[in-house]
């Protein structure tokens, strides 16, 4: 049954939300929703793509484990992808995973390794001939960020391997984290700084909210000397690429080897003989999680036997031999002082709860999102209520609902405001059939600020130094009214607004650099509804310039693979408005490149052919292989079908893809044959 327009629109909306929140968590270290809410978005999109496979793009967001690396650090292509893990949200899902493992191993006896799931930042450490040569973040799993200088300041990370071991290559994967004590030191120091700033009549600086974000932000400092003051720590938990190391039979043997090499291994790692023991281990640490000197949000369970792992293989995004058991969020009760509304860049009015401060999962919570009008009504929370507050995923607080027995007798249901909280006091509108209420006034200053923040962010034009504080400062002063005004800023203007000479010079340099960002980055930065990075890239490559895209009809746009009707109508409608035409002219006058598209000069040997890649290749990262296919006119699909021309098989390939290829008679190629295919377009 074909998907309805409503389902198609919802899938596009979910991809936009997932992409945005993925970047907020992995890229900006500033999540806006809880892990649980993000998981719900992912599950909803997964269900839609399962029920309607025709809506699944060649590269689904669900196959990506993290966010793209920033331009602040040099990119590092992982020779073996740093995959994410599938989640088990409760015991039933854990046991369902255990059943899949048992079935995949023909019910052979299986041992499991249980490891605490540290709430930190995944890291890859590469040693050559015994010496540390590179440290990289996970990034999107294929390309991360080079943070070698910063990691060198972490005392737990050895700079040379201990003992006599000097393997040619040893890649160690683990987690960088900030302990509770280190976080308290940092938070207290920031609060003291703010006391001094307030006393001097200056605005206070943001105070870190939790150890995970503080740790990730500390690791990504441009100045390694700053990272050195942040007391970061590290646990090793996995081998990556290796050359010249002993042969191992089990995962716990690899951990013993890493310990002998000088790497810190979490002392709570346990090897157990049954899934029942895994369940007990999880329950034990769920009850004692707050007794640890660091934050955990679950348990990672892995099959111990390496040969059994090889049999189980991988899905497109995660190993079948491992699962992350997420602990349920902790709950507390507190007073709901008030319900207020914030306005986002699209005009979306989001209610939020102002709470009597309460400590949940180790941190103080004073505000929480309430999502939308319907959620407030469904939960029936009211100012004056005692409410249950949950710290979902140990990151973002959520108001679960009221304690009705404690509700005041004179309580009345909260009514959604009819006016925008900005100075214009425009009317808030809820379109028929939509859950969201929006401010539709184009001059709304709250929308203006959020649009500029999005434009300058890493997901957009990545203008370093142009963060929220800078946006608010310049917009409040009337210096910038939209993103086009960014490119008319001068040294004199910035100095007049209180920026220092060095800060002004650096900011203008960053703005100048952004003028030559690729066209797909500009398209995403404009914040067009439903238009994500993948569709933006397709439009940029097909049309070659912003002017050509602007002139295209919705029908012409929708004909592009990966765009479709919903995105096409949104893009065409956006460029048709007078306000946006004026904005585009501003950007043109500001020197922003409208035609910066990477020109591919490769022979079109794969025109009209669909090629699927599974497993890891030696000379190509997954993204590089897919790019090589597309550059030669082919399609790089995520699943095997009757239309697949060939399946490229690397190390640790996905069993389902291999099975499907065999059933359909799809040719299977090794890496050498793949390179010949790229060159000639012919099968060996």
Residue 654 in contact with residue 678, Cβ under 8 Å?
no
The order of strands in the sheet holding 296-303 is 87-88, 322-326, 296-303, 112-118, 270-272
What six digits make up the tokens of 15? 């991809």
Please state at what angle helix 622-631 crosses helix 671-680, rounded to 10 degrees: 20
- CA distance linking residue 152 with residue 162, whole number of Å: 16
The sign of the dihedral angle between the CA atoms of 617, 619, 623, 627 is negative
- Tell me the C-alpha to C-alpha distance, in Å, between residue 647 and each of 62, 81, 143, 618: 21, 19, 23, 16
Contacts of residue 485, Cβ cutoff 8 Å, sequence gap at least 6: 479, 586
- CA distance linking residue 625 with residue 20, whole number of Å: 25
Strand partners, 428: 439
Strand partners, 399: 389
Q: Is residue 340 classed exposed, middle or buried when 0-12, 13-18 and 19+ CB atoms within 10 A define those classes?
A: middle
Neighbours of 86 (CB within 10 A): 16
Contacts of residue 286, Cβ cutoff 8 Å, sequence gap at least 6: 327, 328
The half-sphere exposure of 619 on its side-chain side, counting CA atoms within 13 A, is: 8
The sign of the dihedral angle between the CA atoms of 368, 373, 379, 382 is positive
Which residue among the candidates 56, 103, 117, 202 is catalytic per the annotation?
A: 117
Q: Which conformational region is residue 525 in: left (phi greater than 0), alpha (psi within -120 to 50 degrees), or beta? A: alpha
Reply yes or no on whether 412 is catalytic. no
Residue 396 in contact with residue 31, Cβ under 8 Å?
yes
- CA distance linking residue 124 with residue 84, whole number of Å: 13
Catalytic residues: 117
């Amino acid at each position: 049954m074909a998907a309805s327009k409503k389902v198609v629109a919802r899938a596009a909306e979910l991809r936009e939300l997932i992409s945005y929140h993925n970047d907020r968590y992995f890229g900006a270290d500033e999540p806006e929703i809880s892990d649980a809410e993000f998981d719900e978005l992912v599950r909803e999109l997964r269900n839609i793509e399962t029920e309607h496979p025709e809506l699944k793009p060649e590269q689904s967001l669900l196959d990506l484990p993290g966010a793209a690396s920033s331009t602040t650090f040099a990119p590092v292509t992982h020779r073996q992808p740093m995959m994410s893990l599938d989640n088990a949200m409760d015991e039933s899902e854990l046991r369902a995973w255990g059943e899949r493992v048992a079935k995949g191993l023909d019910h052979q006896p299986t041992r499991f390794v249980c490891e605490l799931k540290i709430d930190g930042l995944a890291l890859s450490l590469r040693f050559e001939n015994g010496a540390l040569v590179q440290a990289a973040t996970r990034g999107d799993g294929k390309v991360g960020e080079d943070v070698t200088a910063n990691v060198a300041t972490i005392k737990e990370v050895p700079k040379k391997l201990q003992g006599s071991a000097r393997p040619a290559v040893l890649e160690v994967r683990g987690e960088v984290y900030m302990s509770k004590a280190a976080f308290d030191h940092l938070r207290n120091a920031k609060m003291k700084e703010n006391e001094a700033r307030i006393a001097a009549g200056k605005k206070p600086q943001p105070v870190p909210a939790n150890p995970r974000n503080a740790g990730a932000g500390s690791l990504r400092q441009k100045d390694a000397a700053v990272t050195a003051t942040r007391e970061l720590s590290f646990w090793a938990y996995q081998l990556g690429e290796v050359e010249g190391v002993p042969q191992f039979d089990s995962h716990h043997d690899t951990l013993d080897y890493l310990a002998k090499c000088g790497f810190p291994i979490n002392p709570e790692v346990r090897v157990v003989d049954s899934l029942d023991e895994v369940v007990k281990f999880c329950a034990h640490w769920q009850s004692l999680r707050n007794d640890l000197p660091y934050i955990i949000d679950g348990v990672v369970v892995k099959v111990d036997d390496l040969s059994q792992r090889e049999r189980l293989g991988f899905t497109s995004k995660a190993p079948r031999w491992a699962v992350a058991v997420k602990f349920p969020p902790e709950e507390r009760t507190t007073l709901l002082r008030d319900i207020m509304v914030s306005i986002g860049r699209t005009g979306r009015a989001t209610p939020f709860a102002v709470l009597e401060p309460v400590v949940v999962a180790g941190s103080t919570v004073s505000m929480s999102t309430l999502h939308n009008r319907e959620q407030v009504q469904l939960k029936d929370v009211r100012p004056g209520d005692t409410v249950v507050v949950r710290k979902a995923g140990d990151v973002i607080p959520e108001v679960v609902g009221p304690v009705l027995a404690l509700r005041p007798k004179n309580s009345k249901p909260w009514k959604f405001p009819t006016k925008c909280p900005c100075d214009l006091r425009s009317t808030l509108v809820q379109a028929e059939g939509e859950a969201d209420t929006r401010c539709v006034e184009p001059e709304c200053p709250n929308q203006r600020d959020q649009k500029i923040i999005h434009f300058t962010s890493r997901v957009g034009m990545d203008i370093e130094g142009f963060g929220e504080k800078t946006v608010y400062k310049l917009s409040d002063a009337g210096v910038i009214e939209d993103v086009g005004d960014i490119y008319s800023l001068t040294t004199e203007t910035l100095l007049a607004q209180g920026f220092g000479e060095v800060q002004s010079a650096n900011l203008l340099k960053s703005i100048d650099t952004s003028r030559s960002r690729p066209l797909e980055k500009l398209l995403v930065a404009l914040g067009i509804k439903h238009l994500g990075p993948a569709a933006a890239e397709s439009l940029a490559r097909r049309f070659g310039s912003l002017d050509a895209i602007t002139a295209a009809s919705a029908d012409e746009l929708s004909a592009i693979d990966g765009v479709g009707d919903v995105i096409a109508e949104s893009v065409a409608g956006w460029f048709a408005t007078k306000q946006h035409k004026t904005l585009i002219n501003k950007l043109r006058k500001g020197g922003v490149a409208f035609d910066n598209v990477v020109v591919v000069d490769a022979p079109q040997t794969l025109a009209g052919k669909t090629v699927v890649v599974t497993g890891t290749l030696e000379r190509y990262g997954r993204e590089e292989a897919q790019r090589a296919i597309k550059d030669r006119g082919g399609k790089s699909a995520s699943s095997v079908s009757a239309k697949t021309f060939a399946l490229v098989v690397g190390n640790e390939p996905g069993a389902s893809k291999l099975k499907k290829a065999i059933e359909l008679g799809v040719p299977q190629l090794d890496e050498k044959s793949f390179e010949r295919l790229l060159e000639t377009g012919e099968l060996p």
